[in-house]
Amino acid sequence: MDEIQKRLLLEVADLHGVPEGAYNIRANSQSAGRRSTANIEITSKQDVSGLEIRIKPGTKNESVHIPVVMTESGLKEVVYNDFFIGEDADVVIVAGCGIDNCGNQDSQHDGIHRFFLDPGAKVRYVEKHYGSGDGKGKRILNPVTEVYMKENSTMEMEMVQIKGVDDTERTTVAELEAGAKLVVRERLMTHGVQQAISTYDVKLNGKDSSADVVSRSVARDKSFQKFDAKIVGKAPCSGHTECDSIIMDEGRILAVPGLEADHVDASLFHEAAIGKIAGEQLTKLMTLGLTEAEAEEQIINGFLR
């Protein structure tokens, strides 16, 4: 891998070198390295481009890294990855995609990830998106995440997009059985004329299932964001969605709540707040010697942390 690809790996997966545990690194639509372990098997799909990752029941304290980096302008790909997490396993899965486009053609990565969690399984999933390069071609990322959760399983998702992605449409669907728990934390910043659309469709099918979907975002310049979150309660369950956004310059943000209760004991809530940075926050930091621009950056960094 060249230095640009290594830098992208650092941005999207915090990797300085070959990770410990199981991994598959994809660079410009080719495998740049793979390793399975005794408990985690990674194999290539036969019918389409992508992977099957199988994690044995009871696997604890292990990780899977499957980052993607792209540095060829004009490259477009669709990748299908399926994860099968065995009963009572507890693992960390790190994905993400970095695109460096210095050419005039658009580069695009569409990743479709499906997760099948057996009873009692627990997954922490981290997905980071990053773009760089001074070309006129766009950096486009369209992730689709499907989560199917058996009884008493847990999925914690950290979805991060802070810099350089011109267009993204993130779609997440989930179906939860009894006692299953889904937690989503999305952090997003757009600038220039970028646009980012996040759509969540969560079905709470089982008794005592729960979902907590929270998005924090900043829209700068003339960028546009849409947060469309729907939770359907089909049993005694609890669901919460929240959109907390800072709008700057000529940015635009649209929050679309969707709550559907199909059971009398479904408890569903939505919160939304969109506004500019408070003047007193800026003034307080500027009295400490920061310029207005430096104060804004401090506030944004803290907000998106």
Confidence of residue 19 (pLDDT cuts 50, 70, 90): confident
Measured between alpha carbons, how far is 211 from 232 in angstroms, rounded to an integer?
A: 10
**Could you tell me which residues are beta bridge partners of residue 130?**
98, 163
DSSP state string for 59-97: -EEEEEE--EEE-STT-EEEEEEEEEE-TT-EEEEE--E
Q: What is the pLDDT of residue 305?
A: 84
Average pLDDT over residues 89-117: 96
Polymer length in residues for the chain: 305
Average pLDDT over residues 27-44: 95
- Give the DSSP H/E element, type plus range, for residue 7: helix 3-13
Q: What is the mean pLDDT of the chain?
A: 95
Q: Are 69 and 9 in contact (CB under 8 A)?
A: yes
Q: What is the pLDDT of residue 22?
A: 96
Q: What is the pLDDT of residue 193?
A: 96
Q: What is the pLDDT of residue 14?
A: 86
Residues of the chain with pLDDT > 90: what percent? 87
Confidence of residue 2 (pLDDT cuts 50, 70, 90): confident
pLDDT tens-place string over residues 222-272: 999 999 999 999 999 999 999 999 999 999 999 998 999 999 999 999 999
**Could you tell me which residues are beta bridge partners of residue 201?**
173, 230
Burial status of residue 16 (CB atoms within 10 A of its CB: 0-12, 13-18, 19 or more): exposed
Amino acid identity at 252: R
Radius of gyration of the chain (CA): 20
Helix (H, G, I), strand (E, B) or coil at 281: helix
- Residue matched to tokens 């998702």: 157
Confidence of residue 20 (pLDDT cuts 50, 70, 90): confident
pTM: 0.94
Q: What is the pLDDT of residue 16?
A: 72
Burial status of residue 2 (CB atoms within 10 A of its CB: 0-12, 13-18, 19 or more): exposed
Average pLDDT over residues 50-77: 96
Average pLDDT over residues 89-97: 96
Q: What is the pLDDT of residue 278?
A: 86
Q: What is the pLDDT of residue 299?
A: 92
Q: What is the pLDDT of residue 1?
A: 73
Q: What is the pLDDT of residue 133?
A: 94
Question: Domain ranges in the chain?
Answer: 52-60+72-93+103-303
